Amino acid sequence: MRLTRLLFATAALLAFTSAVVANDTSLFRAPNMDSITMGDVKGDVYFLASDEMKGRETLRAESDITAQYVRNRFERAGVEPAGEDGGWWQNVKLKYREWQGKPGIRFERDGQTVELKYEEDFVSTGGAETSVKLDAAEIAFVGYAINDPERGYDDISGANLSGKIALMLRYEPSAWRQGGRRNPFSRHSYLQTKEALCRAAGAVAILMVTGPESLGGSDNDRQLPSPEAAEKSPPLSLDLPEGERGDASLPFFHISVSACDELLGGEGETGRVQRAFDSADLAARPDLSALRLNLAAESREVHDTCRNVAGMIRGELDEWIIFGAHHDHLGYGYFGSRDRERMGEIHNGADDNASGVATVLEIAEAMAESGVKPRRSFLFLTFTGEEKGLLGSRWYVRHPLVPHDKVYAMINIDMIGRIENKTIGLQGTQCSKLIDRHCRDVAPLFPQLKVQFSDRPPPAASDHWPFYSEAGIPVFFPFGGVNQWMHTAGDDPETINYDDMLPVIKMLYEIGWRLSEEQQYADCTGPVKEAIGPDGKLRDPLVKPASDPDEEHEEEFSRE
Ligand SMILES: [Zn+2]
């Protein structure tokens, strides 16, 4: 195309696009779009991510203040309570463990009693472990606790762990590390993977060492994570009834290299054995059969409750679209921070996830204040406990406030406050062709944004995951991407990209509204094959409904 025409066309295009964004809201179907303002968004983010909110850690007072704030905003906007007993809250039952006294490890070597000291020689990997009392327990060296048929590496089958304490190396053979990646380790390094393998092999507890080769052979100080962090911000889990609890994980302690050398019978032994296992020389497995260990660790379970917040706008239909976002964050960064140096400082969580909460509040407010009754109903949820394991959303999916089969779609907003190059990802739309189409229809109405779609299923990264993976509900996940501030003490309101966040909020509102108006029912292809939608039919178009035996006979009859 020639320049003059190009210039003319571009001028016309520019005129068209700016007219679209700035003036011509007739293309928007969602009512009262203009009431979503930068001032309001900033107001929410600055409040939620203020130092006074101390990083909104789950089970801390600020987490309740956050829930109160969301509730007040909903109420002021005219949103109705949708929580338990006609209120605003969904109580999420949580539990964690705390030590009763310091754990102790003792063993005999060459007639000498060796006492390992808690915090000096060993710590628990994640807060207080399940109580354990082992007297004269046997111990076996397992290596990395890896069974990788592809690599022909299996150091666990030959370890004979049944009824013994497993002595294990952290991570994986040094040669397997993939340089240049943010996370150079494979799934074999995941503690859960190793723990599950040892438990399946019959181990009764795990002592794990970060071998010198994994630390580059020096800097032993950094071996043991400070237990302070886990005590100040213990890992939490859902407080579920007996039958619903998964298998309890094994007592799991992190020991220092010098403590491991003691167990293996000499200084430098840990490094020597690790180097052997790094070169798959499993014959070098040390024989610890003569060793007997006393391991005593007593802890108590603490039960507590935190809150999800639930508001609704009833539509004509008893079919629901959920807008969700987590309202918790990392507190002082003792848990989940990517910023070890600044552990103990407030992790304000402006992007993660005050930006998502502000989005839910703005959309709910615009819709409620419009006075327009939507076709489908809307449920607005803010979740607790996301940072500690999607706790609020997993609890919700186990205790839905609206039956899952009445939910049309779930939109989960997490971290849209730092989009770069005007690029926003709408992850997971691929799970539903209908939802994907609506997102692709609406995206061009916001030409100032670059909207990215992915052909991958929704990632397990945030609160949409339990809705999709456990309830089979179609979801999508607007996400601004991982950035340098994520999970650091630097995620402050001052550095949020409000200019681009505003059109993202409007785009999500428009998509949600269009889904509410859509005549067709949304398909969903995912792990829950039997999921039923609001039309009473299977959501997954690829799944053939279980055939009706009468129908079969009918066919038989008709064939005759
Ligand atoms: Zn986060």
Separation of CA 390 and ligand 1 centre (Å) = 10
Which residue stretches of the chain have pLDDT < 50?
Answer: 1-20, 217-222, 552-560
Separation of CA 325 and ligand 1 centre (Å) = 11
Separation of CA 17 and ligand 1 centre (Å) = 34
Separation of CA 387 and ligand 1 centre (Å) = 5
Separation CA 464–CA 170 (nearest Å): 31
Calculate helix-pair angle for 38-48, 355-370, nearest 10 degrees.
140
Q: What is the pLDDT of residue 140?
A: 97
Separation of CA 487 and ligand 1 centre (Å) = 6
**CA distance readout (Å), 453 to 84, 169, 475:** 36, 40, 13
**CA distance readout (Å), 341 to 183, 345, 346:** 19, 9, 12
Separation of CA 454 and ligand 1 centre (Å) = 21
Residue of 83, 88, 346, 334 whose CA lies nearest to 227: 334
Separation CA 124–CA 518 (nearest Å): 52
- Which of the listed CATH numbers 3.50.4, 3.40.50, 3.50.30, 3.10.590 matches domain 101-297? 3.50.30
Separation CA 475–CA 412 (nearest Å): 7
Separation of CA 195 and ligand 1 centre (Å) = 25
Regarding beta strands 89-99 and 237-238, do their DSSP bridges make them parallel or antiparallel, or are they unpaired?
A: antiparallel
Kindly state the tokens that stand for 175. 């040669």
Q: What is the pLDDT of residue 12?
A: 46
Separation CA 479–CA 352 (nearest Å): 10
Q: What is the pLDDT of residue 17?
A: 43
Residue of 385, 382, 381 whose CA lies nearest to 402: 381
Separation of CA 13 and ligand 1 centre (Å) = 39
Separation of CA 247 and ligand 1 centre (Å) = 26
Show the 3-state SS of 354-423: HHHHHHHHHHHHHHHHHCCCCCEEEEEEEECCCCCCCHHHHHHHHCCCCCHHHEEEEEECCCCCCCCCCE
Separation of CA 12 and ligand 1 centre (Å) = 42
Q: What is the pLDDT of residue 557?
A: 41
pLDDT in tens, 125-168: 777 777 899 999 999 999 999 999 999 999 999 999 999 999 99
Separation CA 448–CA 506 (nearest Å): 12
Separation of CA 189 and ligand 1 centre (Å) = 22
Separation of CA 10 and ligand 1 centre (Å) = 41
Separation of CA 370 and ligand 1 centre (Å) = 32
| 523 DSSP assignment | P
Domain ranges of the chain: 43-96+303-519+530-539, 101-297
CB atoms within 10 A of CB 272: 15
Q: What is the pLDDT of residue 166?
A: 97
Would you identify the CATH topology of the domain 43-96+303-519+530-539? Aminopeptidase (3.40.630)
DSSP letter string, 79-90: PEE-SGGGSSEE
Separation of CA 514 and ligand 1 centre (Å) = 29
Separation of CA 462 and ligand 1 centre (Å) = 8
Fold agreement between 43-96+303-519+530-539 and 101-297: no
| 447 DSSP assignment | T
Longest dimension (CA), the chain: 94
Residue of 440, 508, 455 whose CA lies nearest to 478: 508
Separation of CA 348 and ligand 1 centre (Å) = 11
Q: List the shell of residues around ion ligand 1, using CB closer than 5 Å.
A: 352
CA 135 to chain centre: 38
Separation of CA 490 and ligand 1 centre (Å) = 13
Amino acid at 290: A
CB atoms within 10 A of CB 440: 14
Separation of CA 335 and ligand 1 centre (Å) = 11
| 539 DSSP assignment | S
